Chain A
């Protein structure tokens, strides 16, 4: 398996623009997670899905952030409008509940810079 795939790997955009991050989880995994990582705040869970259904979005910073999972093999995280404080590395991860160790597999991340 190719692992979790994220695109783009790097994104530089201007404040006010819309940003869409994409994720393809590992086939067969039933959980998908979106994280944000910064030096100041560490690794923060934004939202996670179980069988394509959003379970907990309490980590989403504000209404500017939205996430969708239209099918088992694709998810998006959208920021509209973007702000400089959104600059961070965004990770997508997936896992399979049937796995005894509940390991989460992380994608390579998208480094977002908002100027």
Chain B
């Protein structure tokens, strides 16, 4: 079967660094994505890793280790507006198509002043 594990909640203070981990178990793995969702909003794309290593986009970075079936999202210089839920999602081969994503349950990040 397919499964993703990520912490349900994380709390950090403004200006700090936080890492949200994601472990996955799936067949036909093609890549790991991260999405952000504010309360009442829609998920929005943050990053995608197809190869091992670190991808940096501004204050956010995402890491993937295919051999460990593990990835993380690193948020630096936390701001209050970063308070949101963060989802990891695996792109897997399902139904004969590579276009599908399997989402984790999400990690609710609370940034405190």
Contact = CB atoms under 8 A, between A and B. Distances in A.
Given A97-B98, A106-B42, 5 more contacts: A42-B103, A45-B102, A101-B45, A102-B33, A103-B48
16 contacts: A33-B101, A42-B103, A43-B43, A43-B87, A45-B103, A48-B100, A50-B99, A55-B99, A55-B100, A56-B97, A97-B98, A101-B33, A102-B30, A102-B99, A103-B33, A108-B41
8 shortest A-B CB distances, which residue pairs? A56-B95, A101-B48, A106-B42, A103-B45, A42-B105, A31-B99, A43-B103, A55-B95
Given A50-B97, A55-B96, A106 B102 contact: no
B94 interface: yes
A46 B101 CA distance: 12
A105 B30 CA distance: 19
Given A42-B105, A43-B106, A56-B95, A105 B45 contact: yes
Contacts of B33: 101-103
A42 B48 contact: no
A95 B30 CA distance: 16
A101 B106 CA distance: 20
B51 to A, nearest CB: 11
A107 interface: yes
Interface of A: 31, 33, 42-43, 45, 48, 50, 55-56, 58, 91, 93, 95, 97, 100-109
A110 B103 CA distance: 19
B107 to A, nearest CB: 11
Interface string B24-60: 0000001101000000011111011000000000000
Most B-side CB within 10 Å, residue of A93, A100, A106, A108: A106
B48 A56 contact: no
A100 B45 CA distance: 13
Contacts of B44: 106
Interface in B58-113: 87, 91, 94-106
